[in-house]
Each structure stands twice: as structure tokens, then as C-alpha cells.
Amino acid sequence: MIKKSSYNVAIVGVTGAVGAMILQILEERSFPVGNIILLASSGSAGKQVVFSGETYRVEELTDRSFKNIDIALFSAGSERSVAYAPAAVKSGAVVIDNSSAFRMDRDVPLVIPEINPLDLPKHNGIIANPNCTTIIMLLPVKALYNYSKVTRIVVSSYQSTSGAGAKGMRELMDQTRDWAEGKPLVNSAFSYPILFNLIPQVDSFLENGYTKEEMKLHNETRKILSDDEIKVSATCVRVPVLSSHSEAVTVQTREKITAAKARELFVNARGVKVLDSPESRLYPMPINSSDQDLAVVGRIREDISDDNSLTFWVSGDQLRKGAATNAVQIAELLING
């Protein structure tokens, strides 16, 4: 991308939870925005959105929305990405896509800036943002991988309602209010009420018994690490939490890594924060890992069932580092060469 003092940016899906967070992150990180175009479906067109102290009108997304745009940040789901990302590229924009539409496309780099920034220049106009659960897991896993090759990962995720967007968060809040008022719980964002409940299904089931979300962890991990031999088995669970996903991760490595060495590797890893003091009851939780951009790691211990395995717990803000911040960091890599 040609180096400039400012860049024209389009945000697709700006009225959704991730789109709104992208707008916030651009402002927080002082991204050099020239003109900004805010795009959404016809139902949201006309809404007013504030960015950097100025009020902007949301425009309806069309094939003609990307004239003179340098970077288009998509957060409106796979269907709209497939329909409109090619039009953005044709207009001269580089697309950074938050959906799963292009993640496994051979010609589309799947990038976590702290892990595989060298994949970025391979793009042909579209760069994919990984799944939020994958990002939060791989930030600490890569620190171990760099020391000793990881051969197998078993992960259970505890995914907040923010993973289903604004409607998921709203449903949890509505059910909390309705329960307090003695009203029946109504669910539409999830298959069952999420209040006081856990739902062991995130996305739809596949023929192998895993869900699409679980297979994303398997497939995306292999692509990001450029390792088709690593084995990943995931169980993804929706939990009644507003923000931040958490994961229990067991990693098997070729050579033994002690808990002390793992702690040292995590401390020195980009994008990772260690909060690991069991005697003081200090460990990552959604309540202390939200509203920031690090994967917070704790409960670090050697797996008593396997000599070459480690187990740890990690939490991270799904809307920020799991989505919006990672996308903006990709944009920063683009403009900084």
C-alpha cells in the first residue's frame, strides 16, 4: 500500500457490535483516517454515529460504496462479505474481513499480527481476521510453539454472548431483567435461554459431530501456524457472560516445558499478560480481561496425565482483540509496510 499521511476508510456493518468497536479502536489508536464512510444494511441507513467528535450518517451498503476507499473493514457477516468484498477490491480498497467467508481461502492470508505478520503481503486485496476464539488461544500457544513444537491441543471454550453480536448481549440483559420481574424468558439469539444456563453448541453441527466453531479452531490454527500436522480438538460452550471469552487449553509439546518455563515464555510473549497467583486467588476471568487487548493467562500447570503437556486458562475480550483490535492492527501493518 502506498504510504500516505491519511487513509480513506470504510466500515461495513458499523451499527453492529464489532463494527461499533472498530470505530472506537480506530479512534483510540489514532489511526490516520482521512475520509470515513460508515456502511450498513438498508434498515440501519440514516442512523447517526459519532466518530472523533463528528457526527456521520450511516449509508446503505452497495457495490458503489467503495469509491476512493483505501481500507474497507468488514464486520457484517459472511453473506455480505462474499457479496460486497469483491466490489471493494475492484474499487481499489484492501479488505480486512471479520467473517469466516475467506479464512480458509488459499489466496487469503489469515493474520494475527503478533504471530504471522509476514503472511500479510501475500494478499490479493482481501485479508481475513481469524475467529475470536482462535486469536485468544493462539497468542499464548505460539509462545510455547516457538520454544518446542506443539503437536496437539485440546481446548474447551467458554464463550460470552458478545460472540453472537449485539443481539446476543441484549438477550442476556433482557432475560436478566425479565427473570427479576418474574416474567418468562424469551430466547431468539440462542437455541435456549442463556441466563443461568450453558449451551454446549456454538454455531451449527457438522457430520463429524463437531460444530463449525470447533472446526474453526482446528483449521485456522493449522493455517496461521503453517502446520498441517498439529492436532486440535475443541468443545465450544456459550456461557451467560456479556464480554470476554475464556478457554481451558491443554497443549502437548515435542519436548517437555515446565510450568516455570511456560510462565517465563508467556511473560515475554507479545499480546499476552500473565495473571497467575493461585495462592492469592488471582487468575484470568471475564471481569478482569474485558475492555483491554491482551490474552490474559493463568492457572499454568504441568498436565499430570502426560509428561509433555501443559494446561492453562486464558481469557480475552472477544469484541476487542478477538475481533476489532486485531482488524485495526492488520490495517496498521498495511500502512506501515
Give the catalytic positions in this structure: 132, 245
Q: Which of 243, 239, 232, 106 is nearest to 166 (CA)?
A: 243
DSSP at 2: -
Compute and round to an integer the Cα radius of gyration of the chain: 20
d(CA 103, CA 43): 28
Burial status of residue 302 (CB atoms within 10 A of its CB: 0-12, 13-18, 19 or more): middle
Burial status of residue 198 (CB atoms within 10 A of its CB: 0-12, 13-18, 19 or more): exposed
Helices 325-336/17-28 angle, 10° precision: 50
Total residues found in the chain within this entry: 337
CB-CB contact of 292 with 317 (8 Å): yes
Q: Which of 94, 60, 50, 109 is nearest to 80 (CA)?
A: 60
| 3-state percent helix, strand, coil for the chain, nearest multiple of 5 | 35, 25, 40
Helices 17-28/166-180 angle, 10° precision: 110
CB-CB contact of 135 with 316 (8 Å): yes
User: Which residues fall within 8 angstroms of residue 160, CB to CB, at 6 or more apart?
Assistant: 239, 241, 242, 243, 244, 245, 286, 318
Q: How many CB atoms lie within 10 A of CB 174?
A: 17
Cα angle value 56/59/62 (rounded, 5°): 150
**Which cell numbers in the block locate residue 314?**
486464558
Three-class SS of residue 79? helix
